[in-house]
Amino acid sequence: MKCCTIIPAGGIGKRFGSDIPKQFAEINSIPVLIHTLRIFEDIDDVEAIVLSVHNEWFTYTKELLKKYDIKKVAEIVIGGVQRQDSVRHALKTKTVESAEIVLVHDAVRPFVSKKLVQSIIDTAEEAGAVIPAVMPKETIKERSHKGMVVKTIDRSKLCLVQTPQGYWQDIIQNAYTQAAKVNFSGTDSASLVEFIGYKITIIDGEDTNIKITDPLDLKIGKMILDDIS
């Protein structure tokens, strides 16, 4: 198989302040997770999707896939305590093991364009590891625990990293295996690929490819969705 996408959807949304994890919140009456899955359903190079979900949301997720006629989800695994664990569980599936290229995309980024996903696949094919990122617009400062400014950081050297991230299968498998051996953790897959010393290409991300993190993002998300659809 050319390409499969892991979608970690195993978070329980502590920052979201609701009983419903943010991937199941609705925008225009459709769950965020379904918006996300529909993007990958429509990309021919993505032949299968592996979802990681919390065990309490497993049955509900299966019902949603049926209701919205999502066809490419080949396997659903139970997520872990951290996002990294949820991705690691998905990496052990037969579906991922048979893919040349593995994408990892947050369930809570429902507005990524198909063009960006395709660019990630094409660049991953050549380079082995690729991530999308945007430049910071604000001034960035390091702060102390007491809320005081330590220093101003040169923002021209920084970027804000998004998903989907794309890797040759052997690279991402190796990164997660090596990280697990020494309990190294990171907030994205690229941190683990950096950890094994592989060079990662950066391509332009999209301002509209936001991560739904708090209730305000749902309102912003509705505006983005109404604009792009």
| Residue numbers at the binding site for ligand C5P (CB under 6 A) | 8-11, 23, 52, 79-83, 86, 106-108, 211, 213
Going by the DSSP 8-state scheme, the letter that residue 112 receives in this structure is: -
- As measured in angstroms, the least distance from the Cβ of 174 to ligand C5P is 21
* The Cα angle at residue 205 between residues 179 and 189, in degrees rounded to 5: 10
CB of 25 to ligand C5P, least distance (A): 11
Q: How far is the CB of 32 from ligand C5P (least distance, A)?
A: 9
- C-alpha distances (whole Å) from 135 to each of 140, 153, 185, 205, 213 are 11, 13, 24, 9, 19
Cβ neighbours around 184 below 10 Å, total: 15
Q: Return the number of the residue (14 or 137) whose C-beta is nearest ligand C5P.
A: 14
Cα separation of 176 and 155, whole Å? 29
Nearer to ligand C5P, 51 or 99 (CB): 51
Closer residue to ligand C5P, CB minimum distance, 46 or 90 = 90
84 or 128, CB closer to ligand C5P?
A: 84
Nearest distance from residue 154's CB to ligand C5P, in Å?
Answer: 26
By C-alpha distance, which of 213, 200, 224 is closest to 14? 213
